[in-house]
Chains A and B, each alone.
Chain A
Amino acid sequence: MLPAVTAPAPARLRSVTADLDALLRRVAQRDVDAFAEFYDQTRARVYGLVTRVLRDPGYSEETTQDIYLQVWRNASDYNPSAGTPLSWLMTVAHRRAVDRVRSEQAATDRESRYGAATVELPVDQVAEGVLEREEYRQVATCLGTLTDRQRECIQLAYYEGLTYVQVSDRLSANLATVKSRMRDAIRGLRNCLDAA
């Protein structure tokens, strides 16, 4: 499940991504050094998310590599008016991870391949200095404000790669309910983050 930490924290969000925008522009100009810097600044978030979804170190490494190749190819597609660079990157990363987990599941029974290999990543694996501690606490606190049912929907959809239709089946809840839980979860999260 998502971490449900209740420690209060001051807000200092979005600071980590301050210069990603400039780096991404240089990456679009085929600047390998800028790409390396972009990788270093974002690798833990990308790899962490991919590992969360795929739960297999080998698949996670391959997929992370594919994600960064996609970044290299498509950096010029990034449109600052459509979102932050981090959001763009994590969207690419999540989509790729979900595509991979679904294709692996199509080939293999999920329970036999993935069931026993579930890895819950403890938060103390977070590399020192990679994340702003305050930002982490802030987001974790806000996740803690979600209801269990909201968290469950996000967990199944975002981290286990289920479609909302599959989530509905899994939870024996109707589609409209599942969609509203997802929407309410994100709204709750945003309200909490914005209030910080």
Chain B
Amino acid sequence: MRLLCHSSKKSAGFLLLESMLAVTIFGLGMIALSRCAENLLRAERVRREEGLAQRVLGNYFTQIETEALPLSDKMTEPLKGAWTGMTLNITREQLKLQNENDQEIFGLYKVTLDVSWVSGRETIHRDLSFIFYPKQR
């Protein structure tokens, strides 16, 4: 009998502080859960965007290698279709290299493809650099 009455004798309900504490713990739990879900979605989105970026870099690399895409020293192209929202920057820089007889090699370029896009609140860049030797026509 004493045990039954023990808790109710002192506090018939919860104190405001206890209730506030419970609500705070619950709120923190909800925030953690929403952060977890948000990160999950973000990871999926980044994975998809990375795949698109890799594909676009590969596509442009092939077109440059086959000389289907005329190059200038600096080009910027907003991408369309599945890549809407991404921007491609192409830079070409002439290389000054020498052969085994210390003669300059002409016509060698370093090409850098840089694709950038805004993901959430940050801008992401992915780039690909390669040496390009156009056919002498």
Is B a genuine binding partner of A? no
Chain B residues in the interface with A (C-beta under 8 A): none
